[in-house]
Amino acid sequence: MERRSSVRFTPSEIARMEKLAAERKEQVLDNKFCQKLAEEFNCSAGRAGSKVLQATQVQGWFLNKFPVSATKPTCVPTFSQEKASTAEVNVSVSEKKSAASEEKLFPLDTSISNNEDEVSPVFPLETRDKIPDLEELEFEAKSSKDSAWYDIALFLAHRRNRAGEIEVRVRFEGFGADEDEWVNVEKCIRQRSIPLESSQCRSIVEGDLVLCFREGNEEALHFDAHVLEVQRKQHDIRGCRCIFLVEYDHDRSQERVSLRRLSRRPKYS
């Protein structure tokens, strides 16, 4: 069965939804509430030029994160934190302000430079993550069907294959039981990648492993890629304008992408 794409929310959107879920409980599952919240996200500066969120995707996040009744697996295999997706819908978000009016207020520097000294130094060069508590860990899995990474909603079972390696059966977030897969724990399970905010662009450097959103005529998926080159640009009201040349690990194709299409791997001290 052809797998449809699912959405990946930004850290600020997730924080907003978690706060609303704690305050409003079951109200967050209301269709009108989810529609209003989706419109709010779509109008935010962080999604300008990105993909439109649908109310059903917002509602799906609440259902997956805070199900009315959910049966948790009794046993989850242990693996390293680093060993622990999802694409967005194919409609562009119309920006609230025209590019022309924005450039009058915040002139856009279209020059490209690989010299970090020529870029505003206010952003951190590196991002270090706080080690999460065990119950806060979230994971993603690499599908054998298309080599793309998807967020995991549930661990359903585990087993050892003939080679003695541990495999787990997972349910991907946003998909049904007919899309469940057995995946190798060591090779295909890892902690979830983290969507990047504009202020974190300088934490991505040449050689980094990233999770990159790739859109095609028939697919919109997240794949592992390595950064080959970073072209630094001055930020403006629309956020990061830098360009990243990446090479996808699964087919060695290359593409120039914006920061919005990248998620980083967790980094710990």
The confidence score (pLDDT) of residue 219 equals 74
With CA atoms as reference, report the closest residue to 221 among 37, 85, 22. 85
Q: What is the mean pLDDT of the chain?
A: 75
pLDDT of residue 47: 66
Specify whether the CB–CB gap between 179 and 185 falls below 8 A: no
Tokens representing 46 are: 């962080």
pLDDT of residue 84: 40
Name the more confident of 96 and 115.
Answer: 115
Question: What is the distance between the alpha carbons of residues 166 and 249, in angstroms, rounded to a whole number?
Answer: 24
Measured between alpha carbons, how far is 53 from 262 in angstroms, rounded to an integer? 17
Residue 155: strand, helix, or coil: strand
Q: What's the average model confidence in pLDDT over 173-193?
A: 92
pLDDT confidence bin for 119, thresholds 50/70/90: very low
- Cα–Cα distances (Å) from 170 to 134, 140, 150, 250, in that order, read 18, 10, 10, 22
Q: Are 87 and 207 in contact (CB under 8 A)?
A: no
pLDDT, mean of residues 142-162: 93
Q: What residues are paired with 232 via a beta bridge?
A: 113
- Region 165-175: mean pLDDT is 92
Q: Which pair of tokens denotes residue 69?
A: 């009744």
Percent of the chain scored above 90 by pLDDT? 35
- Is residue 164 pLDDT above 80, yes or no? yes
pLDDT higher than threshold 90 for residue 180? yes
Q: Which domains does the chain have, with CATH numbers?
A: 11-65 (1.10.10), 139-191 (2.40.50.40), 194-264 (2.30.30.140)
Q: What is the pLDDT of residue 21?
A: 84
pLDDT for residue 51: 65
Q: Would you put residue 49 in left (φ > 0), alpha (ψ -120 to 50) or beta?
A: left
Residue-level pLDDT at 99: 40
pLDDT of residue 58 exceeding 50: yes
- What percent of the chain clears pLDDT 70, i.e. is strictly above it? 67
Q: The tokens 């060993």 sit on which residue? A: 83
What are 217's two structure tokens? 């005529």
- Is the model's pLDDT at 208 over the cut of 50? yes
pLDDT band, residue 48 (cuts 50/70/90): low
pLDDT in tens, 100-110: 433 333 333 43
pLDDT of residue 134: 72
Residue 268: Cβ-neighbour burial (10 angstroms; 0-12, 13-18, 19+):
exposed
The answer, yes or no, to whether residue 229 has pLDDT greater than 70, is yes
Q: Which amino acid is at 255?
A: E
pLDDT band at 255; cut points 50, 70, 90: very high
* pTM of the complete model: 0.58
Max CA pair span of the chain = 65
Which residues lie below 8 Å from residue 186, measured CB to CB, with a gap of 6+? 79, 83, 165, 166
Distance CA 222, CA 148 (A): 5
Q: What is the pLDDT of residues 83-94, one digit of tens each?
A: 443 333 333 434
The pLDDT of residue 127 is 54
- Amino acid at residue number 18: E
Tell me the per-residue pLDDT of 231-242, one tens digit each, with 9 for 90 and over: 999 888 878 899
Residue 3: pLDDT over 70? no
DSSP assignment of 189-212: EEEPPEEPPGGGGGG--TT-EEEE
